[in-house]
Structure 1
Amino acid sequence: MTIDYPSTQAGEEPQLPWCQTPLKHSKALSKAAGYKVYMKLENMQPSGSYKSRGMGNMYLRSLAQLPDPSRARFYCSSGGNAGLAAATAGKMLGCPTTVVVSRRTSELMRNKIRDMDADLHVFGDSLNEADEHMREVLMKSDPGAIYCPPFDHPYVWEGNSTIITEIAQQLPASHPVPDAIVFSVGGGGLFNGIVSGMKAYGWQDVPIIAVETEGAHSLSASLKAGDHVTLPGITSRATSLGATRVSRQTWEYARDGGRSAGLDVRSVVLTDDEALMGCVRLAEDERLLVEDACGVSVATVCDGALRRACPELNEDSLVVVIVCGGLNVTMEMLLEAKAKHMCAAQSKLELKKQQVAIKETPVPALESPTGSSRPSLSSRWSWRWRRTST
């Protein structure tokens, strides 16, 4: 699926604020999973995540419609990665950008957004509060304001659909269609873009493995309820997946397991600790540093969750996992997560050893102070009855 943009005044193609990323076969992940695993390395985008595609397309489409693009200022509310992608696109295209994040966004991510020369505001305790403040206060006083939703907009989905365009061109000729596509789901911007691309290539029968973390599982909760529900709050550490409600388009695609839309959608939910260990595995096996919102998809592929969701996969199957990226991570975070995991695993092992030792220890027979065994219960009661009767 290709996107055509108007030429610049000089007749040149506009600069794209994203890039084509590699599709790499991973021997380590394939060995762990039991089938061929290919990684789409979206962590190599200019902003460090796939968000560069959607936000970049949002900027280009919006600028093409303005009579005077020089007056435009872009506004994006974000948990982190979308805001960083917007700031990066703004810097690459020379467009002023304002990003509003909530107080839950880490100082690490705030500094990365500031480094892209964006005007950063911190407001509220949730993305909804930050977004409302941006639209009702900041944008109302700016006649050149352009609103950039982090995930719920057709321009964002269109940009994200280019992932499938590239995958279709990069897959080996011997296996031109994947047997499953695995990726993380937050608000649904990536989900909608991938579905759009799959429809364009006739891949509707390919299983879509939608992965979330516990506490940010708004899609899974909706599928279980059979209705488009809103989570009461986000409790997961994977704040980049922290949308309490997926977009309406995502729900329309995914409801009934995708059957209503002619798709095959399967939901997987893992814990925060499993997501972090997915990051650790990717760092150790592939030397790639990603945040937990991305690591949860790696954990799904390697630790058996995908096998349970897709029992039809075998050693000849080819699975694509979208390494969506994200810069809210440091090596110190992963080292701490690994140490915690190893400590917990050691504690479980020691507890299991103790339980086995208790089961195998023989229980000695109870004896009287003189060393003789106590009489049976029936004989003691019969002796008492004879004594009373005399």
Structure 2
Amino acid sequence: MKDPITFADVLSARKTIAGHVIHTPLRPSTALSEQVGSPVWLKCEQQQYTGSFKLRGAANAVLRLSDAQKAKGVVGVSTGNYGRALAYAARNAGVRSVICMSELVPQNKVDGIRAQGAEVRIIGRSQDEAQHEVDRLVKEDGMTMLPPFDHADIIAGQGTLGLEVIEALPDVDTLLVPLSGGGLLAGVALVAKSINPGIRVVGISMERGCAMITSLQEGKPTAVRELPTLADSLGGGIGENNQYTFDMCADLTDDFVLVNEAQIADGIRAAYHDDQQVIEGAGAVGIAALRAGLVDNPGQTVVLTTGCNIDMALHKRIAGGEDVDLMAE
């Protein structure tokens, strides 16, 4: 692990990205509060520019580049939301961006990235395969790789989401954080434990191919097979040479929860009907876990609803009550 990321780094990131991101609302969920028996709040990060929390880290990383790095451009691998955020941040800074993705990334997310002005390259059927093209562009074109999670500036930027939550609700008991590569979980947990070690931080992911939880169980970064899932933004590996997020998630997280596809669909549906929020599968896993009774004694809880970039035809099917299984399609 490189030099550790500190609470001061998150405070610095907040200054860097001020004016480049939205301070998103924290709103109570009456339906979830009644079901759980304690107050539940939604941190509506799906209302962020580009439709997900990823802009916080991407903006922080791009704005901290040197002029020489900006001149060469940035490249990254993405399952969709990070690519959109990096493209947006790069375009606003006048920097060329190339986003590499696997064939499993939904077309609406590919189109969203192109709309932000990035060059898109579809490589293979996994994030690890797409990473090979990133490595080539770094070596041959001198571009700067900004990974979606395992990077100090990315993690510090994502941590600003935790700052907003705890400053608005200092007596929060439990934070439910979607988990993929761990950049968000690492940043938010760092902030929570720095301010109040008693805050419970729970990482939540999908049963179909959660690389971080598998890696933590194995005691080292471990590759998993990527499968179609409603929580597509949580797909991908954590990298064999993980520098930050593996250790930070292991050290700072209290619990981990896995939800299945039916539970994710239920979370998407409930967010729409009960709270009038359009939330993608990855952003709905916290709601899914609460509704399935997978979080014991949560107390005053904040669910990070982290993205809204779902194909709207798919959302309509789920909201309408259809039993959607992407493995069968």
What is the TM-score when the length of structure 2 is the normalising length? Answer: 0.87
Structure 1 residues 162, 14: CA separation in 2 closer, same or farther (over 3 Å shift)? closer
Structure 1 residues 70, 231: CA separation in 2 closer, same or farther (over 3 Å shift)? closer
Contact 2:69/2:144 (<8 A) preserved: no
- 2:244 aligns with 249
Structure 1 residues 244, 72: CA separation in 2 closer, same or farther (over 3 Å shift)? closer
- 1:123 aligns with 123
Matches within 5 A, 1:1-390: 1-3=10-12, 16-62=19-65, 66-68=66-68, 71-136=71-136, 138-143=137-142, 145-171=143-169, 176-201=170-195, 203-225=196-218, 227-237=219-229, 238-245=231-238, 247=242, 249-255=244-250, 261=251, 263=252, 265-306=254-295, 310-311=296-297, 313=298, 317-330=299-312, 332-337=313-318, 338-341=320-323
Report the Cα distance in structure 1 between the residues aligned to 2:160 and 2:41, rounded to whole angstroms.
17
* Counterpart AA for 1:211: I
Contact 1:213/1:236 (<8 A) preserved: no
* Counterpart AA for 1:232: V
* Counterpart AA for 2:97: T
- Residues 327-362 of structure 1 show CA distances to partners (whole Å, capped at 9, x for unaligned) of 1331x21332343349xxxxxxxxxxxxxxxxxxxx
* Counterpart AA for 1:251: F
Report the Cα distance in structure 1 between the residues aligned to 2:140 and 2:253, rounded to whole angstroms.
45
User: What secondary structure, in the 3-state scheme, does the structure 1 residue paired with 2:163 have?
Assistant: helix
* Counterpart AA for 2:257: V
Contact 2:17/2:56 (<8 A) preserved: no
Report the Cα distance in structure 1 between the residues aligned to 2:236 and 2:72, rounded to whole angstroms.
28
Contact 1:158/1:196 (<8 A) preserved: no
- Residues 183-206 of structure 1 show CA distances to partners (whole Å, capped at 9, x for unaligned) of 1100111111112212331x2222
User: What secondary structure, in the 3-state scheme, does the structure 1 residue paired with 2:120 have?
Assistant: strand
1:230 CA drift (Å): 1.6
User: What secondary structure, in the 3-state scheme, does the structure 2 residue paired with 1:161 have?
Assistant: helix
User: What secondary structure, in the 3-state scheme, does the structure 2 residue paired with 1:108 have?
Assistant: helix
Report the Cα distance in structure 2 between the residues aligned to 1:219 and 1:169, rounded to whole angstroms.
28
Contact 1:254/1:265 (<8 A) preserved: no
Report the Cα distance in structure 2 between the residues aligned to 1:34 and 1:194, rounded to whole angstroms.
25
User: What secondary structure, in the 3-state scheme, does the structure 2 residue paired with 1:234 have?
Assistant: coil
* Counterpart AA for 2:236: A
Contact 2:221/2:246 (<8 A) preserved: no
Report the Cα distance in structure 2 between the residues aligned to 1:104 and 1:70, rounded to whole angstroms.
29
Structure 1 residues 320, 125: CA separation in 2 closer, same or farther (over 3 Å shift)? same
Report the Cα distance in structure 2 between the residues aligned to 1:50 and 1:109, rounded to whole angstroms.
15
* Counterpart AA for 2:26: L
Tell me, which stretches of 5 or more residues in structure 1 are unaligned?
7-12, 256-260, 343-390
User: What secondary structure, in the 3-state scheme, does the structure 1 residue paired with 2:190 have?
Assistant: helix
User: What secondary structure, in the 3-state scheme, does the structure 1 residue paired with 2:75 have?
Assistant: strand
- Residues 175-234 of structure 1 show CA distances to partners (whole Å, capped at 9, x for unaligned) of x22111001100111111112212331x22221111111112223334444x12524302
Contact 1:17/1:92 (<8 A) preserved: no
Report the Cα distance in structure 2 between the residues aligned to 1:324 and 1:275, rounded to whole angstroms.
14
Contact 1:186/1:216 (<8 A) preserved: no
Report the Cα distance in structure 1 between the residues aligned to 2:12 and 2:207, rounded to whole angstroms.
36
User: What secondary structure, in the 3-state scheme, does the structure 1 residue paired with 2:247 have?
Assistant: helix
User: What secondary structure, in the 3-state scheme, does the structure 1 residue paired with 2:138 have?
Assistant: helix
Contact 1:218/1:245 (<8 A) preserved: yes
1:274 CA drift (Å): 1.0
* Counterpart AA for 1:50: F
* Counterpart AA for 2:285: V
Worse-superposed segment, 37-46 or 241-250: 241-250
Report the Cα distance in structure 2 between the residues aligned to 1:70 and 1:221, rounded to whole angstroms.
36
- Residues 363-386 of structure 1 show CA distances to partners (whole Å, capped at 9, x for unaligned) of xxxxxxxxxxxxxxxxxxxxxxxx
User: What secondary structure, in the 3-state scheme, does the structure 1 residue paired with 2:12 have?
Assistant: coil
Report the Cα distance in structure 1 between the residues aligned to 2:310 and 2:257, rounded to whole angstroms.
23
User: What secondary structure, in the 3-state scheme, does the structure 2 residue paired with 1:281 have?
Assistant: helix
Structure 1 residues 264, 55: CA separation in 2 closer, same or farther (over 3 Å shift)? closer
Worse-superposed segment, 26-35 or 110-119: 26-35
Structure 1 residues 149, 26: CA separation in 2 closer, same or farther (over 3 Å shift)? same
Q: Percent identity?
A: 25
Rg larger for: 1
Structure 1 residues 4, 341: CA separation in 2 closer, same or farther (over 3 Å shift)? closer
* Counterpart AA for 2:148: P
RMSD between aligned alpha carbons?
2.3
Report the Cα distance in structure 2 between the residues aligned to 1:229 and 1:73, rounded to whole angstroms.
29
Contact 1:276/1:334 (<8 A) preserved: no
Report the Cα distance in structure 2 between the residues aligned to 1:211 and 1:23, rounded to whole angstroms.
19
Larger relative contact order (CA 8 Å, sep ≥ 6): 2
Report the Cα distance in structure 2 between the residues aligned to 1:208 and 1:70, rounded to whole angstroms.
36
Structure 1 residues 231, 273: CA separation in 2 closer, same or farther (over 3 Å shift)? farther
